[in-house]
Structure 1
């Protein structure tokens, strides 16, 4: 695949070339940071717009960004943020607390944009002068901090004039981030220049960021191997041989298992996936060791029964993790399917209660070559126990639309990473996150609600003491393992490849100042404000602004 001898394309000096995580054959010009991923460009939430604070999972710390600090009241019903002074929008207008207030009020007025569900908990917002703002919750809600702190903030003087913020493509963005100026935009490539008013002195050190379009991981990998990309975040097979060996001095990677767990989602609104015994039978049919070996080239490991990735390693309960429903056991899988009435017909294939052959389709985005291979392995695993499963690939936008609307039986998908497992289990099991089929769901694509989980989540939201939180997280792990709302496959690696021939300052194992992947939202901002051209005389800034 990587044996092509074509000449390397010349790279523009001072321009950092990055790949978008969601491969697509053609870009759509959309920089709306409030909309869900899909056609929204990478830069919207990683370079143009910024949050008040950034959680860095490697150290488990909150870093100040547009806010310099925060404080809770005694009963955890109100949190206030002190905003950074001297920040300007890229058009020169001053940033202040009214922009923050406006952003959250816009989410209240347009619920489809409230992707984190903040208004299910917020009761009031109070502006306390130009650079302080307070949020009051209807009840104690400690996990709400991350939803507030990570929300991209938009400019009131721009967005107050927008008639439809949902469909607004925001083609000429005005942000506070390091790169805001659209130099060029074509379907195959776009480029953003520096924010002329960026608040970090001397930053960014890079002149511009550039994004070429690739229809698949394989195409992007070829460009990476040829040295045409500076920073990438996707699966590359046998990377030591295909990438590092080409230029050992400058070609590097780091794949910590800090991304969300990758799941096989079973739509629990549909039969037979509404039966926990069937979901666990499907799980037992999957040979995760083979998935990890064949599809992921050993970059990760099989998931355990908690569903947690290493981003939550300090929260994982070792006893719950031992649950055997995530172990490959086709005999147990077959017996459970028989007991559920999904028996084999005379042709060897299992049938549904109406007598028709069970022919599930596993949906996967076509550009994710690792997921495609994982889907192929799993389809073969399910066929081995009599389920006539087939892999179906879609362009990313079509796949994600189906996932959100619940237009699937089985589909691969990711999970988001939050500072604590609260967000993970809420998105996985809270009835409050379940929406009807055909409505777009920002989370809980499998439409599963657990009353027991909701009670534990409510208790966890009201306590700030970590020991009490830890006990509640153990209970959530137990509920997850008992009810199997979705089928965990493997902890997601944070894909991060970088070429230091032209730029330096990327995170490494030895200098782990940030999550290394360009896919990390909003942590990519930490990298964009640290990377600099090779040989630059600019002194390295402190890791925290």
Structure 2
């Protein structure tokens, strides 16, 4: 499937131990996104890169490979365990799960809406990944209204979401969603209440930069990418698909790898991304 948005694991930065950058890094290194892509989605979607940038030119032209190489993460449980140990997270009582540096127990939940079966299976894998490195986490499936209430109100530990990470003509829209300013109700993004004025400042600077001033934009974006990977407020997981099927019983010339290359969808505002052109290209069988 075409990549339509980024599914992100939001960590509640206002709760312990998610307020600890080392704990967040350990979580990032512990998750096997390839397993999710293969077992849950049967390879119909693509694993996200460490930044969560959708694989389109308008975004990837700002993807700084050197920054990702130096500060990025990948699935490696041994690194996750080392990060935890070096930060003082140890299994004190011998139950197989680490306690916080102050000796307090860690019991976390990961939430997605009940009935969203692909996400439900995904967080089961994530919970098992975290348990494998000593983090006590469980998958929970509240009904949608409770999920939304806990997500917007910051009353969760970890949650998967993709509501405003959609394909657009600028990667700024993605960072606006991730770093939206903190309010009582986080209805537009930044559900984990990541609080870093520098990130917001860089995001605004990029917004003020003319689209044809690529050099300035790249410099700002590289700095923002470095900040994101050093802090790991959230963990990009996979590129959620633009679910699309078509029948050739009546109409032909649907978008394909051979052309035409229009966006093959008309729902959720996608008329503006080629849906109308797709319809004009259809031919009666």
Selected match of 1:460 from 206, 213, 221: 206
CA separation of 1:530/1:324 partners in 2, compared to 1, >3 Å: closer, same or farther?
Answer: closer
Higher helix proportion, which one?
Answer: 2
Provide the residue aligned with 2:50 in structure 1: 305
Root mean square deviation of aligned Cα? 2.7
2:11 matches 1:266: yes
**Residue 323 of structure 1: how far off its partner (Å):** 4.7
Provide the residue aligned with 2:263 in structure 1: 515
Provide the residue aligned with 1:496 in structure 2: 244
C-alpha separation between the residues in 1 aligned to 2:167 and 2:138?
A: 30
User: 3-state DSSP class of the match of 1:492?
Assistant: strand
User: 3-state DSSP class of the match of 1:390?
Assistant: strand
C-alpha separation between the residues in 1 aligned to 2:52 and 2:257?
A: 25
Q: State the TM-score, normalized to the length of structure 2.
A: 0.85
Selected match of 1:403 from 138, 142, 151: 151
Alignment of 1:46-195 (within 5 A): none
Q: Is the 8 A contact 1:343 1:351 kept in 2?
A: yes
CA separation of 1:262/1:350 partners in 2, compared to 1, >3 Å: closer, same or farther?
Answer: same
Alignment of 1:429-508 (within 5 A): 429-430=179-180, 433-436=181-184, 439-464=185-210, 465-504=213-252, 506-508=254-256
Unaligned runs of 5+ in 1: 1-254, 538-545
C-alpha separation between the residues in 2 aligned to 1:268 and 1:297?
A: 32
Higher strand proportion, which one?
Answer: 1
- 1:174-228 per-residue CA deviation (whole Å, 9 max, x = no partner) reads xxxxxxxxxxxxxxxxxxxxxxxxxxxxxxxxxxxxxxxxxxxxxxxxxxxxxxx
- 1:471-505 per-residue CA deviation (whole Å, 9 max, x = no partner) reads 22222212211111211112333222222334556
Q: Is the 8 A contact 2:206 2:217 kept in 1?
A: yes
The runs of at least 4 aligned residues of structure 1 exceeding 4 Å deviation read 353-356, 502-506, 534-537
Provide the residue aligned with 2:2 in structure 1: 256
**Residue 469 of structure 1: how far off its partner (Å):** 1.6
C-alpha separation between the residues in 2 aligned to 1:453 and 1:370?
A: 32
2:126 matches 1:381: no
2:76 matches 1:329: yes
**Residue 268 of structure 1: how far off its partner (Å):** 0.6
CA separation of 1:390/1:518 partners in 2, compared to 1, >3 Å: closer, same or farther?
Answer: farther
Provide the residue aligned with 1:288 in structure 2: 33
Q: Is the 8 A contact 2:262 2:277 kept in 1?
A: no
Q: Is the 8 A contact 2:254 2:278 kept in 1?
A: yes
User: 3-state DSSP class of the match of 1:478?
Assistant: helix
C-alpha separation between the residues in 2 aligned to 1:295 and 1:283?
A: 19
Provide the residue aligned with 2:22 in structure 1: 277
C-alpha separation between the residues in 2 aligned to 1:428 and 1:513?
A: 29
Selected match of 1:315 from 62, 66, 90: 62
Q: Is the 8 A contact 2:263 2:273 kept in 1?
A: no
Q: Is the 8 A contact 1:262 1:413 kept in 2?
A: yes
C-alpha separation between the residues in 2 aligned to 1:368 and 1:518?
A: 22
* Larger of the two Rg values belongs to structure: 1
Provide the residue aligned with 1:347 in structure 2: 95
- Which structure exhibits the higher relative contact order, with contacts defined as CA atoms closer than 8 Å and separated by 6 or more residues? 2
**Residue 513 of structure 1: how far off its partner (Å):** 4.6
Unaligned runs of 5+ in 2: none
**Residue 381 of structure 1: how far off its partner (Å):** 0.6
C-alpha separation between the residues in 1 aligned to 2:236 and 2:8?
A: 4
Aligned residues: 277
**Residue 353 of structure 1: how far off its partner (Å):** 5.5
Q: Is the 8 A contact 2:250 2:284 kept in 1?
A: no
